[in-house]
Amino acid sequence: MSRAGFVLAGGRSSRMGRDKALLPYRGTTLIEYLAGEVRQAAGSVCLVGPPERYRVLPFPVLPDLYPDGGPAAGIHAALRATRADWNLIVACDMPALTAAFLAELLERAESAGRRGLVPLAPSGRPQPLCAVYHRACLPALERGLEAGRRKLTDLIADLDLAVWPVAEARWFQNPNTPAEWAAIVSP
Protein backbone atom coordinates (compact mmCIF):
# COMPACT_ATOMS: atom_id res chain seq x y z
CA MET A 1 0.00 0.00 0.00
CA SER A 2 1.34 3.42 -0.85
CA ARG A 3 1.92 6.06 1.80
CA ALA A 4 2.70 9.77 1.91
CA GLY A 5 3.23 12.25 4.71
CA PHE A 6 2.22 15.88 5.09
CA VAL A 7 2.83 18.51 7.76
CA LEU A 8 0.29 21.32 7.96
CA ALA A 9 1.67 24.78 8.67
CA GLY A 10 0.66 28.35 8.14
CA GLY A 11 -1.68 29.14 10.99
CA ARG A 12 -1.62 32.58 12.52
CA SER A 13 0.11 31.55 15.78
CA SER A 14 -1.41 34.69 17.29
CA ARG A 15 -1.21 33.56 20.93
CA MET A 16 2.40 32.43 20.47
CA GLY A 17 3.37 35.79 19.01
CA ARG A 18 5.48 34.14 16.29
CA ASP A 19 5.22 31.30 13.81
CA LYS A 20 5.05 28.09 15.87
CA ALA A 21 6.40 26.05 12.97
CA LEU A 22 9.70 27.92 13.13
CA LEU A 23 10.27 27.63 16.89
CA PRO A 24 13.70 26.17 17.70
CA TYR A 25 13.42 22.52 18.69
CA ARG A 26 16.01 19.76 19.10
CA GLY A 27 18.68 21.57 17.13
CA THR A 28 16.40 22.56 14.26
CA THR A 29 12.92 24.05 13.90
CA LEU A 30 9.74 22.39 15.12
CA ILE A 31 8.45 21.89 11.58
CA GLU A 32 11.74 20.39 10.38
CA TYR A 33 11.79 18.00 13.34
CA LEU A 34 8.20 16.89 12.65
CA ALA A 35 8.83 16.64 8.91
CA GLY A 36 11.69 14.24 9.67
CA GLU A 37 9.49 12.08 11.89
CA VAL A 38 6.69 12.06 9.29
CA ARG A 39 9.11 11.16 6.49
CA GLN A 40 10.53 8.31 8.54
CA ALA A 41 7.02 6.92 9.21
CA ALA A 42 5.43 7.52 5.79
CA GLY A 43 8.41 7.42 3.41
CA SER A 44 7.92 10.98 2.16
CA VAL A 45 6.97 14.40 3.46
CA CYS A 46 5.56 17.59 2.04
CA LEU A 47 4.66 20.78 3.88
CA VAL A 48 1.25 22.37 3.34
CA GLY A 49 1.15 26.11 3.91
CA PRO A 50 2.20 29.42 2.38
CA PRO A 51 5.12 28.64 0.02
CA GLU A 52 6.54 32.14 0.48
CA ARG A 53 6.91 31.47 4.22
CA TYR A 54 8.37 27.96 4.06
CA ARG A 55 10.23 27.69 0.74
CA VAL A 56 13.55 28.22 2.56
CA LEU A 57 13.08 24.83 4.22
CA PRO A 58 14.41 21.68 2.53
CA PHE A 59 10.96 20.22 1.76
CA PRO A 60 8.40 20.67 -1.00
CA VAL A 61 5.60 23.07 -0.03
CA LEU A 62 1.99 22.98 -1.24
CA PRO A 63 -0.33 25.99 -0.92
CA ASP A 64 -3.90 25.70 0.31
CA LEU A 65 -6.40 25.85 -2.52
CA TYR A 66 -9.06 27.35 -0.23
CA PRO A 67 -7.51 30.50 1.26
CA ASP A 68 -8.54 31.02 4.88
CA GLY A 69 -10.00 27.51 4.90
CA GLY A 70 -8.05 26.52 7.98
CA PRO A 71 -6.79 22.99 8.62
CA ALA A 72 -9.53 21.46 6.44
CA ALA A 73 -8.09 23.34 3.45
CA GLY A 74 -4.64 21.97 4.30
CA ILE A 75 -5.91 18.40 4.37
CA HIS A 76 -7.73 19.04 1.10
CA ALA A 77 -4.53 20.35 -0.55
CA ALA A 78 -2.62 17.27 0.62
CA LEU A 79 -5.26 14.84 -0.65
CA ARG A 80 -5.55 16.70 -3.93
CA ALA A 81 -1.78 16.50 -4.51
CA THR A 82 -1.13 12.96 -3.31
CA ARG A 83 -0.65 9.88 -5.42
CA ALA A 84 -0.57 7.67 -2.33
CA ASP A 85 -3.51 5.74 -0.98
CA TRP A 86 -2.76 6.42 2.69
CA ASN A 87 -1.83 9.93 3.79
CA LEU A 88 -0.45 10.77 7.19
CA ILE A 89 -1.38 14.35 8.04
CA VAL A 90 0.10 16.07 11.07
CA ALA A 91 -0.09 19.63 12.38
CA CYS A 92 3.26 21.40 12.73
CA ASP A 93 2.79 22.06 16.45
CA MET A 94 2.81 18.61 18.09
CA PRO A 95 6.39 18.23 19.36
CA ALA A 96 5.87 14.92 21.19
CA LEU A 97 5.11 12.95 18.02
CA THR A 98 7.62 10.31 17.00
CA ALA A 99 8.13 8.25 13.88
CA ALA A 100 7.26 5.08 15.83
CA PHE A 101 3.90 6.47 16.98
CA LEU A 102 3.11 7.77 13.48
CA ALA A 103 4.06 4.44 11.86
CA GLU A 104 1.68 2.66 14.22
CA LEU A 105 -1.04 5.16 13.28
CA LEU A 106 -0.49 4.35 9.60
CA GLU A 107 -0.51 0.59 10.21
CA ARG A 108 -3.75 0.78 12.18
CA ALA A 109 -5.35 2.93 9.45
CA GLU A 110 -4.40 0.48 6.71
CA SER A 111 -5.85 -2.47 8.59
CA ALA A 112 -9.02 -0.75 9.85
CA GLY A 113 -11.03 -1.31 6.67
CA ARG A 114 -12.24 2.30 6.56
CA ARG A 115 -11.19 5.47 4.71
CA GLY A 116 -8.78 6.52 7.38
CA LEU A 117 -8.17 6.69 11.07
CA VAL A 118 -8.38 9.47 13.61
CA PRO A 119 -6.97 8.96 17.12
CA LEU A 120 -9.02 9.82 20.16
CA ALA A 121 -7.21 11.52 23.03
CA PRO A 122 -7.90 10.20 26.54
CA SER A 123 -10.48 13.01 26.84
CA GLY A 124 -12.42 11.38 23.98
CA ARG A 125 -11.72 14.28 21.62
CA PRO A 126 -10.82 13.30 18.07
CA GLN A 127 -7.40 14.43 16.82
CA PRO A 128 -7.95 15.07 13.09
CA LEU A 129 -4.65 16.95 12.80
CA CYS A 130 -2.70 13.81 13.61
CA ALA A 131 -4.56 11.31 11.47
CA VAL A 132 -4.46 9.17 8.35
CA TYR A 133 -6.74 9.87 5.39
CA HIS A 134 -7.21 7.67 2.35
CA ARG A 135 -7.19 9.66 -0.85
CA ALA A 136 -10.78 8.46 -1.38
CA CYS A 137 -11.75 11.05 1.27
CA LEU A 138 -11.07 13.87 -1.19
CA PRO A 139 -14.50 14.11 -2.87
CA ALA A 140 -16.44 14.34 0.42
CA LEU A 141 -13.98 16.83 1.86
CA GLU A 142 -14.12 18.92 -1.29
CA ARG A 143 -17.94 18.94 -1.27
CA GLY A 144 -17.92 20.19 2.31
CA LEU A 145 -15.44 22.96 1.56
CA GLU A 146 -17.37 23.97 -1.57
CA ALA A 147 -20.49 24.24 0.59
CA GLY A 148 -18.64 26.68 2.86
CA ARG A 149 -18.09 24.25 5.73
CA ARG A 150 -14.76 24.90 7.45
CA LYS A 151 -15.05 23.24 10.87
CA LEU A 152 -12.84 20.18 10.62
CA THR A 153 -14.71 18.06 13.16
CA ASP A 154 -17.91 18.52 11.11
CA LEU A 155 -16.18 17.66 7.86
CA ILE A 156 -14.51 14.49 9.11
CA ALA A 157 -17.90 13.15 10.19
CA ASP A 158 -18.58 12.58 6.45
CA LEU A 159 -15.35 10.65 5.80
CA ASP A 160 -15.95 7.12 7.21
CA LEU A 161 -12.93 7.19 9.51
CA ALA A 162 -12.10 4.57 12.12
CA VAL A 163 -11.14 5.78 15.58
CA TRP A 164 -8.23 4.68 17.73
CA PRO A 165 -8.39 5.45 21.46
CA VAL A 166 -4.92 6.52 22.58
CA ALA A 167 -4.06 6.25 26.27
CA GLU A 168 -1.54 9.11 26.45
CA ALA A 169 -2.53 12.74 25.87
CA ARG A 170 1.10 13.84 25.49
CA TRP A 171 1.15 12.85 21.82
CA PHE A 172 -1.33 15.60 21.02
CA GLN A 173 0.14 18.46 23.06
CA ASN A 174 0.13 21.59 20.95
CA PRO A 175 1.49 24.64 22.72
CA ASN A 176 -0.23 27.90 21.88
CA THR A 177 1.53 30.38 24.18
CA PRO A 178 5.17 31.08 25.07
CA ALA A 179 4.52 29.70 28.58
CA GLU A 180 3.10 26.44 27.21
CA TRP A 181 6.08 26.14 24.85
CA ALA A 182 8.52 26.76 27.71
CA ALA A 183 6.86 24.01 29.76
CA ILE A 184 7.46 21.54 26.91
CA VAL A 185 11.05 22.40 26.03
CA SER A 186 12.28 22.85 29.58
CA PRO A 187 10.09 20.69 31.84
Within a domain: residue 187? no
- Confidence class of residue 72 from pLDDT cuts 50, 70 and 90? very high
Domain of 133, in residue numbers: 3-182
- Could you give the number of structural domains in the chain? 1
Within a domain: residue 18? yes
- Average per-residue pLDDT for the chain: 94
Within a domain: residue 53? yes
pLDDT at 1: 63
pTM here?
0.96
pLDDT at 76: 96
pLDDT of 177 > 70? The answer is yes
- Confidence class of residue 159 from pLDDT cuts 50, 70 and 90? very high
- Confidence class of residue 13 from pLDDT cuts 50, 70 and 90? confident
* Triad 124, 129, 132: Cα angle to 5°: 95
- Confidence class of residue 128 from pLDDT cuts 50, 70 and 90? very high
pLDDT at 176: 92
CA distances from 26 to 8, 19, 95, 127 (A): 19, 17, 10, 24
pLDDT of 15 > 80? The answer is yes
Element (H, E) at 41: helix 30-42
pLDDT at 12: 78
Higher pLDDT, 156 or 4: 4
pLDDT at 11: 80
Higher pLDDT, 14 or 100: 100
- Choose among 142, 140, 1: nearest CA to 84: 1
**Diameter of the chain by CA atoms?**
44
Convert the pLDDT of each residue in 113-122 to its tens digit.
Answer: 999 999 999 9
- Write the CATH number for 158: 3.90.550.10
- Choose among 9, 23, 37, 76: nearest CA to 182: 23
- Choose among 88, 62, 61: nearest CA to 73: 62
Within a domain: residue 155? yes
Q: At what angle do helices 99-111 and 30-42 cross, to 10 degrees?
A: 40
pLDDT of 67 > 90? The answer is no
pLDDT at 187: 65
Within a domain: residue 45? yes
